[in-house]
């Protein structure tokens, strides 16, 4: 059971804002009229002349987009390096040597696979022995390419939720073009057929969860008044087989001001299910309820802190990660309590400490198997795996034997099985997937990526920069050995800095092939706002304290220049989504530091972000433009409002997607238009499909990667 925060971030089962592009346009038109008279930039000029760019499929907006696309594509695709980069990227992305990551269900390994023959992909399965062999025999369950062709839809597969313990009945999520909004349809994985008269939802950003084979817990857009102002479900219902969706029985309702109301079923050890509902009042503050199945009106609030994440159950202990101090425990701790005891007494009596990080450590994540709780724990951003167990009175643990000095992550686990999958990787060591038997403690290498670039000729080192307030900020540098420190090395600095998302050492074949082998240096900055050092590292940069995140990133850039690893002429930066906001703040606050900026699927208008798509749900992270103190700060950092005609900016490459229904493409469009109005140089590429990833399939991903790397080479190596 994913936490609410995780689900909102990935935008999958619990959705985001609106039902369709038509509703997006309707909302944007309405909010535009309400706010047109109060939105000003520093020069006093209204934003009204750019609001048409928020009309996702508006003719005028798309005409502008197409013109910008044509200019950018003409320049970048005509570069002699483009064809090879696109070919190299596509070869890697389509390679049959990729690791087929699996989930383990009832003795079967399930995988979703994409390659040159399966552009949209196939859902397939095999036996565990076959999977571990060198000649795996796969059985196709659902072919998305064939389905898209038969139904004349640009279907993008977004996963499945199957009914345990036999996993035969499944709800398959399909998105038109890669949007967060999707259709969920009932599929029989054994007969490989759509269930006749089965469950099917309209296109919506919401979710379903199996309560039993004839009942779904459902939260979607049920029509007017059923969504929060953030665009998430506000109502939870039980939907019985054979009912029309409008006949589903409501059992809980939130408030329009909430982020959302998210209901699901917790599967217990005896295969029974309990209904849990999370009412997310803000992005980081939630109330969690247990709803007795025999009395749906008797919802009981679980007395846990609002800043915490309730996990799954292990040996009758339910796990709880804390983002604030509580009952003598500290923010960052993982604790547990008896769920049976809570259901009986409707109180939490005994709380047990599972894991407590120190100042240099944090919990990356965990997975539950039949016999152990497996955890990835990092220290100074480098992680290791541990196995935890509950003996009835206390928790014990031991470290597992996996490669050190990189990232060890807990992959697929199943609380009904002992077989788990654990992944290890580093910047220069390809991903390796391991099986771990939590019952016996045996582990074995299952799959490994090949070397796609000459990593033996390269080094990866960690350094620390000193931020403006004295905080030590870690960052990694990946480069060819023996590079001369003369300030001329083309260098790409990447960052995110938000939502407690950690950036860990990872192997990227495309980054190695397209950038490192071509003489580029890659730098990963672990700035505040992320989760690298737990909740406090994230919370240090919330709302009006956010400038520390940007100071951290600037300190890393300045440190690279001080070391003469590079210089402003050869230093580029990249970030997407919240990282796109980071990029916008960088090119407005410190345009002197950079010569290239890849600003992908970004937030840039911070005075209207909460009016666009899922933006209202992020007020807990950024602050609210409706609160005077927070509005003043947001205006001070808002890239769209801080572009100055007299300032010389680096040429920015804006990348977005028309069908991104999480971060509105209007952010990138309007900022590009302001650049154009003021005569600043920029490139722009908006993919029609692709959603928040800006690519709906591997071909589109290869194209985007080639465009971005040609741009970086032109700016940072050629010095254009």
Q: Are the CB atoms for 13 and 220 separated by under 8 Å?
A: no
Cα–Cα nearest to 220, from 240, 209, 235, 230? 235
State the DSSP string of 153-206. Answer: --EEEEEEEE-TTTT-EEEEEEEETT-S-BEEEEEETTTTEEPTT--BPPSBS-
Closest CA to 324 of 305, 304, 303, 302: 305
Query: Is residue 299 within 8 Å of 252, Cβ to Cβ?
Result: yes
For residues 375 and 385, the answer to whether their CB atoms sit within 8 Å is yes
Are the CB atoms for 223 and 238 separated by under 8 Å? no
Q: Which SS3 state, helix, strand or coil, does residue 238 take?
A: strand
Q: Provide the CA 666 distance to its chain's centre, in angstroms.
A: 20
590 contacts: CB under 8 Å, gap ≥ 6: 554, 557
Burial class (CB in 10 A: 0-12, 13-18, 19+), 679: exposed
Residue 700: phi and psi, rounded to 5, are -65, -35
Q: What's the number of CA atoms in the CB half-sphere (13 Å) around residue 42?
A: 13
Which H, E and C letters describe 27-61, residue by residue? HHHHHHHHHCCCCECCCCCECHHHHHHHCCCCHHH
685, β-bridge pairs:
655
Angle at 577 between CA 673 and CA 62, to 5 degrees: 35
Residues carrying an active site annotation? 577, 692
Q: How far apart are CA 158 and CA 160, in angstroms?
A: 7
Are 360 and 347 spatial neighbours (Cβ–Cβ below 8 Å)? Answer: no
**Rg, Å, the chain Cα set:** 25
- Yes or no: say if 571 and 561 are a contact pair by the CB < 8 Å rule: yes
Q: Would the CA dihedral through 395, 399, 404, 407 be positive or negative?
A: negative
Local structure of 375: helix, strand or coil: strand
Structure tokens at 557: 């850039």
Task: Map residue 361 onto helix, strand or coil.
Answer: strand
A 10 A CB-CB count for 3 gives: 16
- At 306, give phi and psi (nearest 5°): -65, -30
Alpha-carbon distance of 233 to 220, in angstroms, equals 5
């Amino acid at each position: 059971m994913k936490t609410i925060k995780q689900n909102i971030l990935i935008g999958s089962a619990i959705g985001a804002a609106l039902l369709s592009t038509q509703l997006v346009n309707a909302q944007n038109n309405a909010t535009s009229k309400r706010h047109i008279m109060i939105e000003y930039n520093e020069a006093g000029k209204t934003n009204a002349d750019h609001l048409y760019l928020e009309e996702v499929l508006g003719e005028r907006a798309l005409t502008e987009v197409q013109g910008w696309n044509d200019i950018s594509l003409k320049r970048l695709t005509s570069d002699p390096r483009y064809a090879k980069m696109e070919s190299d990227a596509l070869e890697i992305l389509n390679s049959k040597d990729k690791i087929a990551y699996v989930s383990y269900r009832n003795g079967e390994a399930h995988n979703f696979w994409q390659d040159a023959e399966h552009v949209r992909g196939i859902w397939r399965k095999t036996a565990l022995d076959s999977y571990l062999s060198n000649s795996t025999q796969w059985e196709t369950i659902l072919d998305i390419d064939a389905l898209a062709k038969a139904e004349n839809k640009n279907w993008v597969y977004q996963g499945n939720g199957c009914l345990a313990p036999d996993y035969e009945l499944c709800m398959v999520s399909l998105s038109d073009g890669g949007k967060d909004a999707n259709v969920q349809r009932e599929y029989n994985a054994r007969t490989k057929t759509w269930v006749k008269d089965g469950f099917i939802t309209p296109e919506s950003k919401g979710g379903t969860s199996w309560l039993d084979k004839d009942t779904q817990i459902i939260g979607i857009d049920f029509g007017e008044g059923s969504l929060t102002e953030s665009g998430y479900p506000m109502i939870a219902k039980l939907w019985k087989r054979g009912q029309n969706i409008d006949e589903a029985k409501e059992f809980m309702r939130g408030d329009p001001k909430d982020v959302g109301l998210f209901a699901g079923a917790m599967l217990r050890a005896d295969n029974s299910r309990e209904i849990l509902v999370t009412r997310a009042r803000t992005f980081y503050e939630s109330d969690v309820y247990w709803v007795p199945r025999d009395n749906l009106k008797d919802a009981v609030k679980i007395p846990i802190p609002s800043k915490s994440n309730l996990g799954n159950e292990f040996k009758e202990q339910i796990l709880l990660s804390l983002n604030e101090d509580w009952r003598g425990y500290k923010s960052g701790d993982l604790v547990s309590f008896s769920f049976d005891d809570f259901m009986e007494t409707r109180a939490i009596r005994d709380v047990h400490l599972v894991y407590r990080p120190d100042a240099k450590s944090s919990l990356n994540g965990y997975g539950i198997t039949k016999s152990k709780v497996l955890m990835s724990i990092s220290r100074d951003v480098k992680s290791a795996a541990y196995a935890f167990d509950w003996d009835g009175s206390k928790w014990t643990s031991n470290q597992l034997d996996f490669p050190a000095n990189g990232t060890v992550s807990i992959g697929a686990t199943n609380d009904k099985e002992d077989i788990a999958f654990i992944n290890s990787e580093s910047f220069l060591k390809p991903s390796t997937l391991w099986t771990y038997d939590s019952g016996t403690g045996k582990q074995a290498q299952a799959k490994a990526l090949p070397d796609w670039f000459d990593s033996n000729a390269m080094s990866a080192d960690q350094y620390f920069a000193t931020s403006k307030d004295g905080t030590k900020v870690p960052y990694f540098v990946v480069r060819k050995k023996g590079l001369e420190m003369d300030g001329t090395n083309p260098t790409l600095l990447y960052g995110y800095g938000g939502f407690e998302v950690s950036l860990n050492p990872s192997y990227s074949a495309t980054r190695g092939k397209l950038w490192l082998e071509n003489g580029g240096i890659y730098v990963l900055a672990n700035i505040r706002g992320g989760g690298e050092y737990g909740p406090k590292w994230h919370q240090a940069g919330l709302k009006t304290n956010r400038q520390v995140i940007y100071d951290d990133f600037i300190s890393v850039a300045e440190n690279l220049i001080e070391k003469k690893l590079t210089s402003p002429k050869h230093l580029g930066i990249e970030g997407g989504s919240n990282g796109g906001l980071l990029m916008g703040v960088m090119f407005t606050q410190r345009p002197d530091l950079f010569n290239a900026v890849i600003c992908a699927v970004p937030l840039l208008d911070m005075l209207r972000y909460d009016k666009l798509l899922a933006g209202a749900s992020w007020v807990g992270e950024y602050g609210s433009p409706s609160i005077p103190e927070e509005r003043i700060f947001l205006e001070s950092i808002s890239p769209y409002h801080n572009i100055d005609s007299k300032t010389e900016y680096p040429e920015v490459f804006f990348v977005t997607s028309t069908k991104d229904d999480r971060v509105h493409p209007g952010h990138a469009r309007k900022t590009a238009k302001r650049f154009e109005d003021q005569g600043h140089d920029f490139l722009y590429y908006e993919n029609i499909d692709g959603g928040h990833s800006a690519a709906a399939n591997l071909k589109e991903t290869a194209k985007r990667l080639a465009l971005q790397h040609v741009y970086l080479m032109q700016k940072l190596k050629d010095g254009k």
